[in-house]
Amino acid sequence: MSIRTLDDLLAEGVAGRRVLVRADLNVPLDKQSGAISDDGRIRAVLPTLGALVEAGAKVVVCSHLGRPKGAPDPQFSLRPVAGRLGELLGAPVHFATDTVGDSARSTVADLADGQVALLENLRFNAGETSKDEAERGAFADQLAAFGDAYVDDAFGAVHRKHASVFDVPARLPHVAGRLVLREVEVLSKLTGDPERPYVVVLGGSKVSDKLAVIEALLPTVDRLLIGGGMCFTFLKAQGLEVGTSLLEKDMVETCRNLLERSNGKILLPVDVVVADAFAPDAAHDTVRVDGIPSHRLGLDVGPETVAGFTAALSPAKTIFWNGPMGVFEMPAFAAGTRGIAEAITKADAFSVVGGGDSAAAVRALGLDETSFGHISTGGGASLEYLEGKALPGIAALEN
C-alpha cells in the first residue's frame, strides 16, 4: 500500500506545470442569502493549495457543491466559493463558468505560474457521478486534459466512485494532498488499536445512513451513545411511543436487533425536548422518553441525557463523534449538541469529530476547535473509513 504524496510531487518540481486538485468545497450555504455559512472545508485545503502556489504551479481546482442533477443549476454554483477562496489565499481565484467547456479551457490556458483557477461544479456534468464507466471515463478524459498531475485533497468525497475522484487519477500521475493524508492518519488510529475506553457518539437524522457503521463499531467500542433524530427509531424499538418525531418505520426491527446484540453498550436518551412544530419559536418542553405526547416531536436530547452521556464520556481515552444531538441550528434545540460537545472537550481523550454537520455545529456554537483532537472534513467518508470499507478515492491513489 504505497501512496505518493504532495511532498513527492513538490520534490519533482511543479513550477510551470498544471496541477489538477480535486477538493471538497461542498460548504453549507445560507438558504436565504446564499452566503457561505461555514468555510471550514475551504480553509482545510489551504495547506495544499498554498504549497502548490508557492512552488509556482498552475493550480486548477475542481469540486462538487450540493447535489445538482448532472446539469447546471445556479443555486449550486461554486462562484461564491471562488471569492472566499481568493480572500483566504490572498490572491484572486480565476473562476470558470463551466467545468470542461470553453470557459474552463480558456481559464486554464490563461493561468500564469502560481495562479489558481476554480472550475464550475463538477456535478453540473452527468459524467461526474454516472454509474456507466464509459460516460464517467469520457468526462474524466476532459478533466484530465487540464492537468499534468493530479492531487486528491477531497477527503469528504473519497467514498464516492466519481469521475474526478476515481477515474482521473487513473489518467494522470497522482498524489494525496495534505488534508487527505492527515485525515487518513488520524482515522487509522481509531481503526487500529484505540486507547480505551473508546466511546462513540452518533447523532443526525437518519438511522439508515448509520446502520453499517453501528454494525461495524459494536464489537470494537466500549460505549455507543445515540442521540439526534435517529434515536427515535431506537426508542420505538424499545416499545416507546415517539409522537410525531422522526421515525424510520422500516428500521425499527433492525434497531431492536442491534439493541439485543449490543451487550448493553448502546446508551439511548432518557429525556428529550419535544415541540409542537419543527420551528425555532415552537412551544417546547422536556419530557421523559416514556412520556412523549402523541402530537409532539422530539428536537433535542434533554439535560438528564446530557448528564448521562457526559458520565459515559468522561473516562474515555478515545472518542469519535458524528452527528448533532438535536436541531442545533435553532437555539431552543441546541443545548444537547452543545452539552455533548463540551463533555467531549472536557474528557482527557483523543477526540475526533467527523461529519460536515458536527464540524459546522462545533463552529456555529462558538466552541473552541482546538480543544478537539481532530475535526474531520468528511461525514460519509469518515464513517465508511471506520466501517473498514475500501474507499474508491484512496484505492485510486494506491494504484
The reply on whether position 354 binds ligand 3PG by CB under 6 A is no
Is position 356 annotated as part of the catalytic site? Answer: yes
Pick from 329, 350, 353: nearest CA to 340:
353
Is position 363 annotated as part of the catalytic site? Answer: no
CA dihedral 316, 265, 226, 214 (to 10 degrees): 100
| Pairwise CA distance, residues 5 & 51, whole Å | 12
CB of 180 to Mg ion, least distance (A): 17
**Of the listed pieces 194-202, 203-211, 222-230, 372-380, which binds Mg ion according to CB under 5 A?**
372-380
| Pairwise CA distance, residues 41 & 360, whole Å | 10
Label the pairing between strands 223-226 and 266-267.
parallel
Q: Which of 203, 339, 356, 392 binds ligand 3PG (CB under 6 A)?
A: 356
Is 78 within 8 Å of 62 (Cβ atoms)?
Answer: no
CB of 41 to ligand 3PG, least distance (A): 8
The reply on whether position 160 binds ligand 3PG by CB under 6 A is yes
| Pairwise CA distance, residues 166 & 238, whole Å | 42
**Of the listed pieces 156-164, 253-261, 277-285, 315-323, which binds ligand 3PG according to CB under 6 A?**
156-164
Largest Cα–Cα distance of the chain, in whole Å?
67
Nearest residue (CB) to ligand 3PG, 209 versus 222: 209
The reply on whether position 266 binds ligand 3PG by CB under 6 A is no
70 by Cβ neighbours in 10 Å (0-12 / 13-18 / 19+) ranks as middle
Residue 338 interacts, among ligand 3PG, Mg ion, none and using kind-specific CB cut-offs from 5 to 8 Å, with none
Is position 323 annotated as part of the catalytic site? Answer: no
Buried b (16+ CB within 10 A) or exposed e, 86-119: bebbeeebbbbebbbeeebeebbeebeebbbbbb
**Of the listed pieces 78-86, 153-161, 313-321, 342-350, which binds ligand 3PG according to CB under 6 A?**
153-161
**Of the listed pieces 155-163, 239-247, 303-311, 360-368, which binds ligand 3PG according to CB under 6 A?**
155-163
- Measured from each CB, the residue nearest to ligand 3PG is 26
Is position 243 annotated as part of the catalytic site? Answer: no
Pick from 25, 46, 47, 28: nearest CA to 37:
28
CB of 379 to Mg ion, least distance (A): 5
Residue 157 interacts, among ligand 3PG, Mg ion, none and using kind-specific CB cut-offs from 5 to 8 Å, with ligand 3PG
Crossing angle for the helix pair 356-364 and 335-346, to the nearest 10 degrees: 90
The reply on whether position 392 binds ligand 3PG by CB under 6 A is no
CB of 275 to ligand 3PG, least distance (A): 27
The reply on whether position 24 binds ligand 3PG by CB under 6 A is yes
Is 290 within 8 Å of 240 (Cβ atoms)?
Answer: yes
Within 368-387, which residues bind ligand 3PG (CB under 6 A)?
Answer: 379-380
Examine residue 197 and say whether the peptide bond preceding it is cis (omega within 30 degrees of 0): yes
| Pairwise CA distance, residues 275 & 283, whole Å | 6
Of the residues 356, 378, 379, 393, only one is catalytic, namely: 356
Nearest residue (CB) to Mg ion, 169 versus 379: 379
CB of 123 to ligand 3PG, least distance (A): 8
The reply on whether position 26 binds ligand 3PG by CB under 6 A is yes
**Of the listed pieces 185-193, 210-218, 361-369, 376-384, which binds Mg ion according to CB under 5 A?**
376-384
Is 42 within 8 Å of 370 (Cβ atoms)?
Answer: no
CB of 282 to ligand 3PG, least distance (A): 28
| Pairwise CA distance, residues 17 & 23, whole Å | 18
Residues 6+ apart with CB under 8 A from 27: 36, 37, 38, 39, 40, 41, 42, 65, 81
Residue 24 interacts, among ligand 3PG, Mg ion, none and using kind-specific CB cut-offs from 5 to 8 Å, with ligand 3PG
Q: Which of 269, 380, 392, 393 binds Mg ion (CB under 5 A)?
A: 380
Nearest residue (CB) to ligand 3PG, 147 versus 379: 379
The reply on whether position 324 binds ligand 3PG by CB under 6 A is no
Pull the grid cell for residue 237.
424499538
Is 352 within 8 Å of 359 (Cβ atoms)?
Answer: no
CB of 29 to ligand 3PG, least distance (A): 12
Is 163 within 8 Å of 122 (Cβ atoms)?
Answer: yes
So which residues are the catalytic ones? 41, 206, 356, 380
> Which parts of this chain interact with Mg ion (CB under 5 A)?
379-380
> Which parts of this chain interact with ligand 3PG (CB under 6 A)?
24, 26, 67, 156-157, 160, 356, 379-380
